[in-house]
Homo-oligomer: A and B are copies of this chain.
């Protein structure tokens, strides 16, 4: 601990990927702990194209915690950011020991922290930027503090889907049963090497912010949509098992069709929300129709 106190600056940089859910997450059973009403499953994209890069620095010269997003200072006091920061600062000796550096606990307790995070893609375009962002923040903090524990639980506290960006390949976020959320974790279903020829085409239709944010939107859906309740209780458990099998079999036809159906059903529950939430635009609807015409022309699911 004495050694740590003399270090002027400790710094760690990480990158984190975007993930695209093929069985969607929509709806929380606990809004504070961010516990979902259904399990979800995603594909993690390669960081060659889209990624978040975050540097976390701790110094005794810093007088306050600060945060920059894409070069612009942001509110470090945001409850979700604080949930991730506090997690690293918990004085927890066994964890510090596991990390191998005895100065970690001291670092985290006494030093203020500066965080800079950047996306190499449009932040508000629905590309799971908060997922990549919080996954990256938690990874950078963990490296800074030398933590090696289960980090997806911490990332989940930043943004639900962030827990899935802690792994590559195919990742399931287990709903979990416990009220404290300790079993609501991300697990890798298959590594990226399992299905290397799979490609995800990302079409950015608009750079504008969503008309209703996910947090408020999904809460309204939980409160007002009878179809969302049925989806979470009955439809998703069946689909999750099917999707795992399609991934195991590398069955693109089954995988692609089920991903389309599940995406549509998510949008359907948004429409069943009162007042209704519209995330699809005429442009995205045209792209969907184009994909169906393309597949019909080829006689099977190619996109």
Contact = CB atoms under 8 A, between A and B. Distances in A.
Interface string A268-294: 110111111010011001001100100
Interface stretch (A29-37, A96-104, A258-266): A258-266
- Chain A interface mostly: helix
B257 A264 contact: no
Contact of A265 (B227, B278, B292): B227
A235 interface: yes
Interface residues of A, number: 28
Given A230-B234, A235-B226, A282-B282, A288 B268 contact: no
A164 interface: no
A267 interface: yes
A285 B278 contact: yes
A269 B231 CA distance: 12
A264 B276 contact: yes
Interface of A: 224, 226-227, 230-231, 234-235, 257, 260-261, 264-265, 267-269, 271-276, 278, 281-282, 285, 288-289, 292
23 contacts: A226-B230, A226-B231, A226-B234, A226-B235, A226-B265, A227-B227, A227-B231, A227-B268, A230-B230, A257-B274, A261-B272, A261-B274, A264-B274, A264-B276, A265-B272, A267-B271, A268-B268, A268-B269, A268-B272, A271-B271, A278-B289, A281-B282, A282-B282
